[in-house]
Amino acid sequence: MDYRKLGRSGLKVAPICLGTMQFGWSADEQTSFGILDAYADAGGNFIDTADVYSSWVPGNPGGVSEEIIGRWLKQRGKRHEYVIATKGNGRMWDGPNGEGLSRGHLMKAAEDSLRRLGIDYIDLYQTHWPHLETPQDETMRALDDLVRDGKVRYIGCSNEPAWRLCKAMWISEREHLQRFISLQPPYSMVNRANFERENEALCLDQGIGVIPYSPLQGGFLTGKYRRDTTPESVRAEGLKKYLTERNYALIDLLEDLGKGRKATVTQMALAWTIQRPAITAPIIGANSVEQLNDILGTLEVQLSADEVAKIDAASSWKEA
């Protein structure tokens, strides 16, 4: 497997990051263990979760995904071989400090994640989304202290606009604090503008690794959604804005380009994402080992410059 450096750090990660939001939700613990085993056996080492996964499911208090990963790590052993990334910010307990990016919340949230994961340190601790009520200086100082205390190795952020990410980098430089080495934005070939308009250039300039989520846009870029076919799915309602003739034509193009190399639409979409200049590793979840194996097949696909140009043109958000 071709491991990549994560941003301006010495940390090397697999080019596909295993997302685990589905653990304890659409994948039970036994299935989750099978997915983790298959990913690790294939050489994967980068596992992403969050403390809130998946508190929106009835009966799930949050933290379940972390707990499943923790039990798997204990069973698997060799914890040092894996890069464990988790996130804090979401509401995990009652009261005014039960969510957010304040020192009060982050210190307890990180300790709770360590306990659920059953580990002594978190490789990559990320802010899950902006919290405008908390001064960024306070957040960056708290994250720096977590690193200095040995509880966290590296820090990253998720869903931050370019202006806040730039400000965070400035605070770190001014105060001699740990800097973000990664950004986790939503990004796919049918949702390019949000990242490419400003954050892409910033991440390339500052050496910030990019680990995008939803690179298959909720399943649309798997090829399951066609002009005459809309599968029954809890995500179908949220995908309506992507069900356009232009995007159907993009799916057709991915399918056509993949035929010669026997690559699926999923693999072609992910291969394009991996080959983007700022991307370190897209985050992909799987509900079965079979689904994971299809995803990992992406690593056998290398798009030519001509293929990339065709996909870029078909998915471009910029006006001609």
Condensed to tens digits (0 to 9), the pLDDT of residues 272-284 reads: 999 999 999 999 9
Amino acid 228: pLDDT: 84
Q: Please spell the DSSP secondary structure of 60-88, one letter per residue.
A: --S-HHHHHHHHHHHHH--GGGSEEEEEE
Q: Mind listing the pLDDT tens digit for each residue in 7-29?
A: 999 999 999 999 999 999 999 99
What lies within 8 Å, CB to CB, of 12 at 6+ separation is 3, 4, 5, 6
pLDDT at 59: 87
Amino acid at 47: I
Average pLDDT score, the chain: 96
CATH architecture entry for 4-217+276-288: Alpha-Beta Barrel (3.20)
53: annotated active-site residue: yes
Alpha carbon distance 75, 34 (integer Å): 12
What amino acid occupies position 73?
L
Q: Which pLDDT score, from 0 to 100, does residue 230 have?
A: 76
152: CB partners within 8 A, 6+ apart: 110, 121, 122, 124, 125, 143, 146
What pLDDT shows up at residue 234? 63
Cis peptide before 233 (omega within 30 of 0): no
Candidate list 53, 82, 125, 242, residue with the active-site label: 53
Query: What pLDDT band is residue 140 in, cutting at 50, 70 and 90?
Result: very high
pLDDT greater than 60 at residue 320: no
Give the helix, strand, coil percentages of the chain, each rounded to 5. Answer: 45, 15, 40
In sequence order, the 6+-apart residues with CB closer than 8 A to the CB of 72 are: 32, 33, 36, 37
pTM: 0.96
pLDDT tens figures, 73-110:
999 999 999 999 999 999 999 999 999 999 999 999 99
The rounded distance, in Å, linking the Cα atoms of 235 and 248 is: 17
The mean pLDDT value for 300-313 works out to 97
pLDDT for residue 33 = 98
Beta bridge mates, 105? none
Any bridge partners for residue 180, and if so which? 155
Average confidence (pLDDT) over 101-122: 98
Q: What tens digit of pLDDT does each residue of 180-219 get?
A: 999 999 999 999 999 999 999 999 999 999 999 999 999 9
pLDDT digits (tens, 9 = 90+) for 47-81: 999 999 999 888 889 999 999 999 999 999 999 99
pLDDT score recorded for residue 235: 67
pLDDT bracket for residue 225 (50, 70, 90)? confident
